[in-house]
């Protein structure tokens, strides 16, 4: 599942994984944790070599249970810190470094293979999952939503997490990040040629998840996997 920020990806992907009894991987959390490692080491995130060194040194661990998000950096819980402004502003620069992407794509593929072997299914969210990380995935979704709705959702998340912001600033930040993520040279965000595009502007989480469950069923992905409700 790919798409820009604020399209509801995380909520939809976690809910869908839970409903299907599948694992879940938030690849954005991995780019965010590497960004935090770079910021903590005090380097300039525009320095690709220094970012690569920091990424290679970082001990990263992410959970794959949709109900228990876990993000550990060097053994410490960073789940909240990686959502803060400092990381959000710097993450696109870090995610544009080819060596960082190679490193994380390798890790993501290993995690996916492990969960597929253990649990039998996984919902993976990011920007390049359908195009690069899992080009053979049996169902690829690209979520979209209007810029205003995406900013409003980000603002709601920020205020729920106690982070101060306003609509204009959030809209600017969301726009900037999506422009950087979709125009970078390596693995830019874009729908895979065979992705199903879903506009979530006027749809609640439940509506999107129900449609995706139906789609998964039509594709035969749930055969032998029990229930969809
Ligand atoms: O999904 P998110 O907002 O937590 O992602 C944070 C950043 O990480 C996003 O701006 C782009 C980058 N990212 C990426 O380049 N590739 C991915 N597969 C996932 C995220």
Candidates 181, 185, 190: which one to mutate for ligand 1, based on the most atoms within 8 Å of Cβ? 181
**Low-confidence stretches of the chain (pLDDT beneath 70):** 223-229
* 224 domain residue, yes or no: no
* 226 domain residue, yes or no: no
* 209 domain residue, yes or no: yes
Residue 40: give its domain's CATH number.
Answer: 3.40.50.300
* 229 domain residue, yes or no: no
* pLDDT of res. 89: 92
* 3 domain residue, yes or no: no
* pLDDT of res. 24: 98
- Determine which residue's CA is closest to atom 13 belonging to ligand 1: 28
What pLDDT, in 10s, does the model give residues 41-79?
999 999 999 999 999 999 999 999 999 989 999 999 999
- Using the structure block, give the residue that is written with the tokens 């990011």: 126
How would you write 65-131 as a 3-class SS string?
CCCCCCEEECCEECCCHHHCHHHHHHHHHHHCCHHHHHHHHHHHHHHHHHHHHHCCCEEEEECCHHH
Ligand 1 first shell, C-beta below 6 A: 5, 27-28, 31-32, 91-92, 95, 126-128, 177, 181
Domain containing residue 207? 9-217
* 117 domain residue, yes or no: yes
Domain count, the chain: 1
* 176 domain residue, yes or no: yes
């Amino acid at each position: 599942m790919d798409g820009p920020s604020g399209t509801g990806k995380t909520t939809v992907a976690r809910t869908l994984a839970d409903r299907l009894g599948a694992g879940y991987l938030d690849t954005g959390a991995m780019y965010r944790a590497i960004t935090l490692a770079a910021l903590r080491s005090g380097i300039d995130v525009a320095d690709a070599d220094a970012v690569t060194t920091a990424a290679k040194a970082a001990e990263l661990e992410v959970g794959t249970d949709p109900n228990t998000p876990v993000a550990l950096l060097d053994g410490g819980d960073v789940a909240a810190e990686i959502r803060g402004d400092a990381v959000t502003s710097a993450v696109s620069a870090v995610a544009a470094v080819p060596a960082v992407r190679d490193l994380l794509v390798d890790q993501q593929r290993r995690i996916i293979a492990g969960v597929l072997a253990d649990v039998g299914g996984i919902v993976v969210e990011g920007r390049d999952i359908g195009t690069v990380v899992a080009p053979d995935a049996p169902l690829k979704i690209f979520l979209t939503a209007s810029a205003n709705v995406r900013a409003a959702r980000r603002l709601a998340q920020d205020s729920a997490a106690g982070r101060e912001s306003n609509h204009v600033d959030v809209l600017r930040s969301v726009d900037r990040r999506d422009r950087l993520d979709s125009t970078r040279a390596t693995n830019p965000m874009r729908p895979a040629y065979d992705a199903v595009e879903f506009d979530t502007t006027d749809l609640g989480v439940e509506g999107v998840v129900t449609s995706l469950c139906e789609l998964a069923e039509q594709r035969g992905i749930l055969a032998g996997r029990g229930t969809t409700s």
